Amino acid sequence: MSAETAFISPRRPKAKASWRGRITRRILTGMLVLWAAVTLSFISVYLAPGDIVSLLMGEQVHTPAIEAAIRAEWGLDQPLYLQYLHYLWRVLHGDFGRSYMLNTDVSSLVLSQLWPTLKLTGLALVVSLVFAVLMAVTTAHRRWGQRIAGSVELILASTPSFWLGIVLLFIFSFTLRWFPVAGDRSFSSLVLPAFSLGLAQGAVVSQVLRRGLEDALDEPFVLTLRAWGLGNTVIRLRHALRHAALPAVTLTGWLIGGLLSGAVITEQVFGRPGLGKITVDAVLGKDLPVVLAVAIFSALVYVVLSTLVDILYLFIDPRLRDAPAAGEENS
């Protein structure tokens, strides 16, 4: 038994399988969120001012053939509840209709641009977490480090990602010529966008992680580890960091949402392909089917990643795997 687990309360035998219920409930909650996102997208079409056919057609030239195709696709001659069920059925099968502005299938269009956005978001998430861990581990309980790190984190957290991106472009692309200015041809073109998008969120996570790490370093098991002769770095990285990680992991759910929304602007600054570009083009061109599809796909990505983060709790803290969930304590 390790030093830190010696201070954890004994396991409850009847709660051994509670982690399965937690995962199931989290997946069901994610499905409910997705259903709400699809329902809101359907309602938004009918609450928007103007004729539905004109909204879906956008700035495309109106012709009787296109209007008839839209009415057939959305079942506008049927009762509203049947239109809703038909829309749900299409979305469940990955059918988001057709963009009459671009004359292409919306699902194919969004999927073709989803991977560049996921690459950017994923690398930005890595940048955020690595930055947060490095700042927290090196400055926790160190007064001089806290002052320097606090100033850096305040600057980064209050700096818009697009402005930081412009500064990084000026320094590393136009002046030093280390990275390409735009495009998505290689990994090097992904570095500056990921840093401009991830550093601000990483600064916020760093503050939370440092506070949790300082609390963990004050726990009794740390004294035991020091008595065993373990070094300060080993204690921070292998033992205290795991105890401090839960609040930071909770904040990672917010972090994912911020990265997805920030990717729209960052892709524009760096001239990258992705959901940001097609979203801006769709909004400017009033291409409603594309806007709705991007909103639903973004909700899907957010729910999947947030669910994985919640499941990660169970692997970080073994107490959560054994503790009964809400409503199970009296069963």
Beta strands in 83-235 (DSSP E): 98-99, 104-105
SS3 55: helix
Identify the CA nearest to 269 among candidates 321, 199, 196, 207.
Answer: 196
Q: Please, are residues 234 and 240 in contact by the beta-carbon 8 Å criterion?
A: no
Evaluate if residue 11 carries a pLDDT over 50: no
SS3 99: strand
| pLDDT for residue 14 | 46
Alpha-carbon distance of 213 to 227, in angstroms, equals: 19
Q: What is the rounded average pLDDT for all residues in the chain? A: 77
Q: Residue 105 pairs with which residues in a beta bridge?
A: 98
Query: In which band, very low, low, confident or very high, does the pLDDT at 111 lie, cut at 50, 70 and 90?
Result: confident
Higher pLDDT, 4 or 263: 263
Tell me the two tokens of residue 249.
Answer: 């992991």
Alpha-carbon distance of 251 to 260, in angstroms, equals: 15
Cβ-proximal residues to 85 (8 Å cutoff; 6+ apart), any chain: none
DSSP 176: S
Alpha-carbon distance of 165 to 327, in angstroms, equals: 47
| pLDDT for residue 177 | 82
* 40-44, 52-56, 295-299, 318-322, range with the lowest pLDDT: 318-322
Residue type, 273: P
Identify the CA nearest to 258 among candidates 321, 182, 200.
Answer: 200
The CA radius of gyration of the chain, in Å to the nearest whole number, is 24
Q: Please, are residues 60 and 66 in contact by the beta-carbon 8 Å criterion?
A: yes
Higher pLDDT, 40 or 67: 40
Cβ-proximal residues to 29 (8 Å cutoff; 6+ apart), any chain: none
Dump pLDDT digits (tens) for 158-200.
Answer: 888 888 888 888 888 888 888 887 777 778 888 889 898 888 8
Q: Model-level pTM?
A: 0.74
Dump pLDDT digits (tens) for 19-48.
Answer: 677 778 888 888 898 899 889 888 887 777
Dump pLDDT digits (tens) for 190-245.
Answer: 888 989 888 888 888 888 888 877 777 777 776 777 777 676 677 776 767 777 77
Q: Please, are residues 297 and 114 in contact by the beta-carbon 8 Å criterion?
A: yes
Evaluate if residue 128 carries a pLDDT over 70: yes
Tell me the two tokens of residue 165.
Answer: 């991106």
Tell me the two tokens of residue 276.
Answer: 């940001």
| pLDDT for residue 8 | 44
Q: Please, are residues 255 and 125 in contact by the beta-carbon 8 Å criterion?
A: yes
* 7-11, 114-118, 302-306, range with the lowest pLDDT: 7-11
Evaluate if residue 331 carries a pLDDT over 60: no
| pLDDT for residue 132 | 86
DSSP 11: P
| pLDDT for residue 319 | 59
Evaluate if residue 325 carries a pLDDT over 60: no
Higher pLDDT, 130 or 69: 130
Query: In which band, very low, low, confident or very high, does the pLDDT at 15 lie, cut at 50, 70 and 90?
Result: very low
